[in-house]
Amino acid sequence: EAQVTQNPRYLITVTGKKLTVTCSQNMNHEYMSWYRQDPGLGLRQIYYSMNVEVTDKGDVPEGYKVSRKEKRNFPLILESPSPNQTSLYFCASSFGGSRIDTGELFFGEGSRLTVL
């Protein structure tokens, strides 16, 4: 089954404790992206990757890191989480070589993160 898999789905952590949210897709997509979803603000892009070893900042990259060492995986790293990073996070992937063609994104089921 074609899918984007995120882990963990739910996480409660404390300020400053490094964490990683993993994302893996099995559709051989070259484009991958992370979004956060907050009430009243909608989906905002954090980082995206056009291909292996190619990443770039989205609209809200502060406090996050990413890496793309393999085509299928795109982990999101919070080096020192703070309460304002409490949110619902989505990983998404898309077709496309050097660019997305139409904007169709395939999303994971989300990771709800709470930072105390």
* Contact positions vs other proteins (CB under 8 A): 4, 31, 33, 35, 40-43, 45, 48, 50, 58-59, 90, 92, 99-105, 107-110
Residue 35 or 74: the one with the smaller Cβ distance to other proteins is 35
Contacts of 41 (CB under 8 A, 6+ apart): none
Under 8 Å between Cβ of 35 and 89? yes
- Minimum separation from the CB atom of position 5 to other proteins (A): 11
Residue 43 or 77: the one with the smaller Cβ distance to other proteins is 43
Separation CA 101–CA 30 (nearest Å)? 12
Residue 8 or 16: the one with the smaller Cβ distance to other proteins is 8
- Minimum separation from the CB atom of position 62 to other proteins (A): 17
- Minimum separation from the CB atom of position 106 to other proteins (A): 8
Residue 12 or 41: the one with the smaller Cβ distance to other proteins is 41
Full strand arrangement of the beta sheet holding 4-7 = 4-7, 19-25, 76-78, 65-66
Contacts of 102 (CB under 8 A, 6+ apart): none
